[in-house]
Chains A and B, each alone.
Chain A
Amino acid sequence: MTGSVSWRVLRGVLLLAFAAFFVLPLLALLDFSTKVPGTGERTGEAWRTLLDDPALTEAIKTSVLLAVLTVVGMVVLLVPTMIWVRLRVPRASRLVEFLCLLPLTIPALVIVVGMKGVYAWVDYFIGDSALTLTFVYVVLVLPYAYRALDASLSSIDAVTLAEAARSLGAGWLTVIVRVITPNIWAGVLSAAFIAVALVLGEYTIASLQNYETLQVVIVLLGKSDAPQSMALSLAAILFAAVLLLLLSLLDRRRRPSGKK
């Protein structure tokens, strides 16, 4: 705004203060994870042995698998539904939007409390496994996935595309899978990235259901081997950062400068 020198100085100082506030805890994580408790010497031990712990690798495997399954579930469930609603039943779009955004109002903690009955059935039919968490996770990522997909569906003329395909003799399945979906690929991809980040960071449901996912194991480790749990925390957040950074690059390519 005003280009005065004092404003620029103030702005720089404030930005630095914010940067310090946000970077400090991450530096502390790094510091803690490379320090020998007690003596204060530096060591890469916690980082080196990170993948030696079988419980840990198991948890990472579970979390990654959960992330993949959640993405698959989300895409299979949400993409055709949203396309179908847009093309055939626009009347239902408010309902779908409401349902998708509902998890923002119903905290994960509440879903955990109420899902005992549902999960008794899930365990009965599919078996008791951490991977059954996929179902709730799909619900959890709905709001974010919905927004990403909705933005990208709105940016194309889905109805015309579908009519063109139909008049060339395509069935509805072909329209959804081979005509519309490739056009909203960027939206699907960003929905997937957000889903992966959310699943890898999820703790509430997994811990209260007693499944050992990445975050649950980080907390357990924190009680026995603090430096290692710190190393793992840092690794997890850096991974999520890279993931979401890729997402923002993707976003930028989709929406060229200036336009929101």
Chain B
Amino acid sequence: MLPFLVFVGIFLLVPTVTVVVGAFQSDDGGFSLDRVRALTDETPMRALRESMLLSFSSAAVGSVLGALLAYLVVTAPPTSVIRRTVTAVCGVLAQFGGVTLAFAWMATLGFGGLVTNLLADAFGRDDSGSAWLYELPGLVLVYTYFQIPLMVIVFLPALEGLRPQWREAAVNLGASTRQYWFQVALPLLRPAFLGSALLLFANAFAAYATAAALVSQGAPITPLLIRSALTSEIVLGQANFGYALALQMVVVVAVVMTLYAWLLKRTSRWLS
């Protein structure tokens, strides 16, 4: 017990506290709000906005499509090949994301990629393709690739908790399929769906590897801004600004995860 506490204290809590303290320090060590105030400058604000936009759109697309895929899977019998394959593949893609996915999409839609070339052949367009993959829309697409699997993993249990008896009861009382879905199933699934979507949002907001591998220069989103704060030693005080940025990230993720935990509790009232 004690070694565990000490270990977690050193390697998890100390870094976190360092970030929080560092964010409220001035360059000579005293208390100051300068670094936190610097968050409202134009560059970090824009990065935050883009990050939010990226997280929101990839979470929205990911949760809708992921829920759809989860539904397709749940209607198959538990032992079917489809179900096993989908859950296994989703496990890999959601947990082993990062760099590999960035490369996979570069090979697909980047310069000289598979689909780029196919499109070039089909429409006689310029062979080199465009750079949209390396900008925000491209990031949304690539993020979706690991958001959908994550959604399937977290949403599947809720769908499985939807008991057939409820549908039978509704049908016995004269409900149509439409009525069953809109008045029974969807209200039951709503907290689980929203909760999972929040988890996806936090996941995208904190993701670093994919974006870092894809965008090698510049810092359009907050995680990459942290990278440049950490790696650039040219501008004095930049490294310390990383603390404020990291604090901002913790706050956003913590708020989202708290909401998630709350929704999860509401979900478990019915679907567990």
Contact = CB atoms under 8 A, between A and B. Distances in A.
Interface stretch (A51-59, A134-142, A147-155, A159-167): A134-142
A77 interface: yes
Interface in B205-221: 206, 208-209, 212-213, 216
A105 B249 CA distance: 10
A107 to B, nearest CB: 3
A28 B223 CA distance: 27
Contacts of A218: 99-100, 103
A114 B22 contact: yes
Contact of B8 (A27, A139, A229): A139
A84 B1 contact: yes
Nearest to B258: A105
B12 A102 contact: yes
A208 interface: yes
Contacts, number: 224
Interface in A79-134: 81, 84-85, 89, 92, 96, 99, 102-118
B271 to A, nearest CB: 11
A74 to B, nearest CB: 10
Interface string B131-175: 000000000000001001000000001001000000000000000
Nearest to B97: A201
Interface centre among B7, B15, B254 (most CB of A within 10 A): B15
Contacts of B69: 14, 18
Contacts of A240: 92, 95-96
Interface stretch (B27-35, B36-44, B105-113, B188-196): B105-113
A24 interface: yes
A180 B83 CA distance: 33
Given A113-B246, A257-B78, A27 B114 contact: yes
A111 B226 contact: no
A211 interface: no
Q: How many interface residues does chain B have, given as a range?
A: 35 or more
A25 B92 CA distance: 14
Nearest to B209: A203
A1 B1 CA distance: 49
Interface in B27-79: 65, 68-69, 72, 75, 78-79
Interface stretch (A63-71, A181-189, A241-249): A241-249
A118 B12 CA distance: 10
Given A1-B75, A139-B8, A260-B157, A81 B16 contact: no
Given A107-B206, A109-B223, A201-B95, A114 B18 contact: yes
Contact of A32 (B1, B78, B114, B249): B114
Interface string A180-222: 0000000000000010011011111001100000010011001
B257 interface: yes
A219 B17 contact: no
Given A109-B249, A194-B95, A201-B95, A118 B15 contact: yes
A194 B95 CA distance: 9
Contacts of B212: 203-204, 207, 219
B165 to A, nearest CB: 14
B18 A115 contact: yes
A248 B235 CA distance: 49
B253 A31 contact: no
A11 interface: yes
B201 interface: no
A96 B8 CA distance: 10
Nearest to B90: A22
B257 A111 contact: no
Contact of A204 (B22, B107, B209, B216): B209
A237 interface: yes
Contacts of A109: 206, 208, 223, 226, 246, 249
13 contacts: A25-B105, A77-B7, A107-B249, A107-B253, A109-B223, A114-B22, A200-B96, A201-B100, A204-B209, A222-B103, A233-B99, A241-B92, A241-B96
Interface of B: 1, 3-5, 7-8, 10-12, 14-19, 22, 65, 68-69, 72, 75, 78-79, 82, 84, 87-89, 91-93, 95-101, 103-108, 112-115, 145, 148, 157, 160, 177, 202, 206, 208-209, 212-213, 216, 223, 226-227, 230-231, 242-243, 245-246, 249-250, 253-254, 257
Interface of A: 1-2, 11, 14-15, 18, 21-22, 24-29, 31-33, 37, 77-78, 81, 84-85, 89, 92, 96, 99, 102-118, 135-136, 138-139, 142, 194, 197-198, 200-204, 207-208, 215, 218-219, 222-223, 229-230, 233-234, 236-237, 240-241, 244-245, 247-248, 257-258, 260
